[in-house]
Each structure stands twice: as C-alpha cells, then as structure tokens.
Amino acid sequence: MSKKLWNGFRKGIQVLLENGPGHTVSWVRYHLYERYREWSLGIETAGYQGWGAANDSSPDNSVYEPVCYDCLDRVLALLGIETDKEVFLDYGSGKGRVVTVAATHPFREVIGVELVPELVSIAENNIRRASGKFKCKKVNIVATDVTTFSVPDDVTVFFFFNPFTGNIMKKAQEQIYRSLNKNPRKIRIINMNSASDPDPFESCGWLQKTQDIPPGWWRKMRFVIHSNSAG
C-alpha cells in the first residue's frame, strides 16, 4: 500500500472512531467524488496555500482552499445557464477549480481574478489541460489585485468563495457597483462562507437576497445568491 493510500486509510479510521458510521460514509463519498472530478477534468486543484508567495500579509486575504465539487455543481445548476449570453467572474480564482468547472457550462466568457503568481500559473495550466471539455471558449485568468481590478461591463455572474474580507471585500463590491452604473444589467452574486459568519452582501442596498442554501455536510458552509433590482 502506498503512503498516500495508507494515510487516507488511517484518516478514514479516525473519522469513523470520532464521528460514527453515518458521518464516515459522507466523508468517504465526498473524497471519492473530489478525486473523480479532478481525474475526469485532468486537473490538480486540491490543497491549501497561504499568501507568502505574494508577499501579502493583509489579514483580509484568505488562504487558498478549493470549494468542494459537489457544492460548486449544485450552485451552478441553480443558475440554469443554457445560452452563451452570460459572463462569469470568479474572485480569488486560486488554482482554477471554479473557473474550469464554470467553463464546462455555456457561458460566453469565464474570467478568474487572482493575485498570487504561483496560483495563476497553476490555474492557467489546469485550464489548458481541461480545455477540451469546455463549452465556453473564452476562458482566462487576470493576474491582478482585486482592489484595483476594473470589472468588465458585461459580467453577469460573480462568484465568491471566501476569498477575502474587510476592506478588500468592500473595494470589490464598489467595483461591481461602479460597473453596474456604467452598464445597468441583471447580475447575480454567489457568495459562499461559513454559516456562522455574516453575509458580506447583506448590507448592500442595491442587492436583494434571492436564494439562501442552508448549511450542508461540507464544513457547515452555505451559499447565498443576491441579485440586483434590474433582475
């Protein structure tokens, strides 16, 4: 047995002993599906990474952690993307998991915004490897700071998986609002964070909550979808 398999086996036994068989079944199902999706797309997006590579010590930046595939599949299905009229933007795109999966839907364009150079390089490589499975043909990563990133005036779907908080989140919201003023349109903002944390878009008077998916098994996270009055 390889070291990786042995470590996985030991972790499974630990989960079983600490949480019981029901939770263990969910844990095993989750990890099997994660590995299957990585294999089927031909990408590598698992793991964690901090901000040291970017020389950024801001407490508002979160470490890299990929959203679970099951959660991502569920929320993208709710959007009902059937035509190529919508443009998708992922904030803090990391290794490119969200961008890659979004590109398997018929968006007109999929954009990722990421600051860390190492993560940008990994994401671009993953996009190249998975491109044969894309329905969206225009996919790219913008290597920049979100606080100065000018939101394209045709973006209609925004995705946040706990990429940052505080002042950085405020700046991102201001950039979205500025884009809406330049080109009024229907948008949807998908935010995922811990169910115990406040929704950062709750205070945006120009948005209304349209869906609130309650916490699931995966780390008690929830999705909230907001839309503007034009929607």
DSSP string across 181-201: HHS----EEEEEEETTSPPTT
* Low-confidence winner among 35-44, 59-68, 143-152 (lowest mean pLDDT): 59-68
Amino acid symbol at 182: K
**Nearest by Cα to 227 from 179, 190, 175, 195:** 190
Determine the pLDDT at residue 231.
47
**Nearest by Cα to 67 from 108, 103, 37, 26:** 37
Determine the pLDDT at residue 216.
63
DSSP, collapsed to helix, strand or coil, labels residue 51 as coil
pLDDT > 90: percent of the chain? 57
Distance between CA atoms of residues 167 and 33, nearest Å: 35
- Detail the DSSP E strand segments found in the chain: 87-91, 109-114, 139-143, 157-161, 188-194, 207-213, 221-228
Domain ranges, ordered by start, for the chain? 3-41, 69-228
Q: What is the mean pLDDT of residues 204-225?
A: 81
DSSP, collapsed to helix, strand or coil, labels residue 166 as helix
Q: What is the mean pLDDT of residues 204-223?
A: 80
pLDDT higher at 67 or 6: 67
- Residue 51: pLDDT band (50, 70, 90) is low
For residue 48, what is the enclosing H or E element? none
Asked if residue 6 has pLDDT above 80, the reply is no
**Nearest by Cα to 95 from 118, 74, 61, 128:** 118
What's the predicted TM-score (pTM) here? 0.85
**Nearest by Cα to 170 from 60, 93, 75:** 60
* Low-confidence winner among 7-11, 40-44, 156-160, 222-226 (lowest mean pLDDT): 7-11
Determine the pLDDT at residue 63.
78
- Residue 206: pLDDT band (50, 70, 90) is very high
Amino acid symbol at 46: A
Asked if residue 199 has pLDDT above 60, the reply is yes
Cβ distance 176 to 151 under 8 Å?
yes
Amino acid symbol at 107: F
Angle between helices 21-41 and 117-130 (to 10 degrees): 80
Place of tokens 């080109």: 183
* 69-228 under CATH 3.40.50.150, yes or no: yes
Determine the pLDDT at residue 69.
93
Distance between CA atoms of residues 173 and 179, nearest Å: 10
